[in-house]
Amino acid sequence: MGVELRLHTFFMLLIIFCMLINAKAGSGAGFALWLAISFAVVVREVARILVVAWYGLKLRAVLVLPIGAFYAYADPESQEKAAHGRARYMLSLAGPIANLMTAGALTAVLLGASGNFNLLSQPWISSSYLLRSIVWLQAGMGMLHLLPAYPLDAGRAVRSKFLGVHDATSASRAASGLGQLLSIALIAAGGILQNPWLFIAGCFVFIGGQIEDQGVFFQSVVDTVRMREVMLTDFSTLSPSDTLTGALERCVHSLQEDFPVVRGPQLVGIVSRQKIVEALRTDGNGYVQSVMSRAFQVARPEDTLGAIIRRISAGRGLSLIPVTESGRVVGIVSVQNLMSSMAMLAEQRRIERLEGGR
């Protein structure tokens, strides 16, 4: 459906953890318990995805952890809508409600099917009692997200309260700090009570907070960088009337992978060196206008890098964004040169700070 789905490495390592704590029962039992945990995550995220669809939010990517998933939105409007208003509260409530309702429904079915089903017997989570474990994993996932530990659902509600008095970065840092304290408390409680599930839940909450904190920090950085600071101003252009052999010769003497195609001062398309080579191999010589792409986006020098990164990520196969001013191409930003330009800009700012401190 056009959304990139990623499983975090720790989600896979959870298989090993389940097999180790159920070594006596065999690897199959440990894998079955992992599937039960995955089922709790799936129930939670299906409910949240339905909320995303209901509010018309557009997703770019989903990163799945054992405590749930992080969403990357495809456009600023979806991100803003998900962070404010009713969508924010519904996204926070959907997961816990879905897990707790599923736990209740499974309990009713199991009690109805077997009158001697004992839900409260210990251990609550074990591969030896898989049906009871499924119920408690659903309930545990729902109750876990009611803790005010960012980035859990209740923790996001706490962050929204902090936003009323702080900027986005400070609010996220404060909520993340509280979340990490609570995650350490869960880890400590797991050790004291010799409960491996409290321990592993605390670890994943801590890891999730770190991931979310890094994402907020990166976003706060790129939103302060303007296109004029990182765009390439020394670049080559092609004309739609250039021959493909002539364009290939230009490619030989340029490090660019993609070229703006201009007619006079007007930008009319974008072409890559790969497209030029493929066209020459299959159809022979022709003109640039026959192979150039007319689907492109442009930026202005004052646009933020964060907005442009979202455009590059949202655009399928989009690798170059021309920067225009008064209809004239004054620079280009490409995936190829972006990281290099950011590194050089960071070094330039560091030197300026050092010189300013003298």
pLDDT tens-digit series, residues 248-296: 998 888 888 889 999 988 899 999 999 999 999 999 999 999 999 887 8
* Residue among 337, 334, 328, 342 nearest 272 (CA): 334
Query: Mean pLDDT, to the nearest integer, of 342-349?
Result: 72
Verify that 235 and 260 share a domain, yes or no. yes
Verify that 167 and 142 share a domain, yes or no. no
- Of the candidates 169, 187, 222, which is a domain's last residue? 222
CATH label of the domain that carries residue 237: 3.10.580.10
How does DSSP assign 142-167, residue by residue?
Answer: HHHTTSS-TTSHHHHHHHHHHTTTS-
Query: Which is more confidently placed, 102 or 149?
Result: 102
Verify that 167 and 249 share a domain, yes or no. no
**Band of the pLDDT at 39, cuts 50, 70, 90?**
very high
**116, pLDDT greater than 80:** no
- Of the candidates 207, 222, 237, which is a domain's last residue? 222
Out of 155-159, 225-229, 279-283, the most confident range is: 279-283
Verify that 59 and 178 share a domain, yes or no. no
Verify that 166 and 231 share a domain, yes or no. no
* In 303-352, beta strands by DSSP E: 320-325, 328-334
* Residue among 287, 286, 283, 309 nearest 297 (CA): 309
Q: Is 30 in contact with 22 (CB distance < 8 Å)?
A: yes
Report pLDDT for 138: 93
The string of pLDDT tens digits covering residues 44-101 is 999 999 999 999 888 878 888 888 788 877 776 787 787 777 888 888 899 999 999 9
Verify that 179 and 42 share a domain, yes or no. no
| Pairing outcome for strands 4-7 and 59-65 | parallel
Q: What domain range includes position 1?
A: 1-146
* Residue among 343, 341, 336, 340 nearest 255 (CA): 336
- The count of domains in the chain is 3
* Residue among 249, 246, 245 nearest 285 (CA): 245
Verify that 315 and 244 share a domain, yes or no. yes
Verify that 213 and 347 share a domain, yes or no. no
Q: Which amino acid is at 7?
A: L
Verify that 64 and 134 share a domain, yes or no. yes
* Residue among 292, 287, 283 nearest 259 (CA): 292
How does DSSP assign 209-265, residue by residue?
Answer: HHHHHHHHHHHHHHTT-BHHHH-B-S---B-TTSBHHHHHHHHHT---SEEEEEETT
3-state helix, strand, coil in the chain (%, to 5): 60, 15, 25
120 by Cβ neighbours in 10 Å (0-12 / 13-18 / 19+) ranks as exposed
Low-confidence winner among 126-130, 212-216, 309-313 (lowest mean pLDDT): 212-216
> Using the 8-state DSSP alphabet, how is residue 2 labeled?
-
Query: Mean pLDDT, to the nearest integer, of 195-204?
Result: 81
Verify that 254 and 314 share a domain, yes or no. yes
Query: Which is more confidently placed, 348 or 165?
Result: 348
- Of the candidates 174, 197, 222, which is a domain's last residue? 222
**139, pLDDT greater than 90:** yes
Low-confidence winner among 104-113, 115-124, 284-293 (lowest mean pLDDT): 115-124
Report pLDDT for 318: 63
Q: What pTM does this model have?
A: 0.58
**Band of the pLDDT at 215, cuts 50, 70, 90?**
low
Verify that 254 and 323 share a domain, yes or no. yes
**240, pLDDT greater than 90:** yes
Verify that 245 and 131 share a domain, yes or no. no
Report pLDDT for 279: 93
- d(CA 181, CA 255) in angstroms, rounded, equals 49
